[in-house]
């Protein structure tokens, strides 16, 4: 995989991951690479330096970068509120949501992970769920 820093004609900067340089070019020419802010498809690669990271020491956790723009800041704020005010139920999300809907357990705010077919079944049964624009944090052993 290769990551490119990209820019649209309106000056919005974002990145994209592609299997290869040829795959990027094929997708770009077909109009399948769009700006994440405005949707413009005439994007171009920005000049970028290779990313080489030094090895981490055993037990050292990676450091996250600060949000780079208003959108990233809003997503970080949303994530913090969800994590502070909801219970993470992991892969039990669909079962927990269904049990709350059916009154078998007390209702509370939860978030977790569900397979697409599990989420679709919940929606078809009238159980409100929504995807989150981030992956849950995972602790490594």
* Residue whose C-alpha is closest to residue 125's, from 105, 99, 107, 104: 99
* pLDDT at res. 60: 67
pLDDT truncated to tens, each residue of the chain (141 aa)?
788 899 999 999 998 888 888 999 999 999 999 998 898 999 998 877 666 667 767 666 666 678 888 888 898 899 999 999 999 999 999 999 999 999 999 999 999 999 999 999 999 999 999 998 888 776 554
**Contact between 10 and 38 (Cβ < 8 Å):** yes
């Amino acid at each position: 995989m290769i990551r490119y820093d990209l820019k649209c004609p309106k000056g919005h900067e974002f990145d994209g991951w592609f299997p290869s340089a040829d795959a990027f070019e094929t997708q770009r020419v077909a109009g399948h690479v769009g700006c994440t802010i405005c949707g413009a498809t005439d994007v171009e690669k920005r000049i970028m330096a290779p990313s080489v990271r030094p090895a981490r020491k055993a037990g050292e956790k990676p450091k996250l970068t600060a949000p780079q723009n208003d959108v990233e800041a809003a997503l970080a704020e949303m994530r913090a509120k969800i994590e502070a005010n909801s219970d993470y139920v992991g892969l039990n999300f669909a079962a927990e949501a269904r049990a709350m809907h059916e009154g078998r357990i007390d209702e509370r705010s939860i978030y977790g992970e569900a397979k697409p077919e599990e989420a679709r079944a919940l929606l078809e049964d009238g159980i409100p769920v929504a995807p989150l624009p981030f992956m849950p944090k995972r602790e490594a052993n």
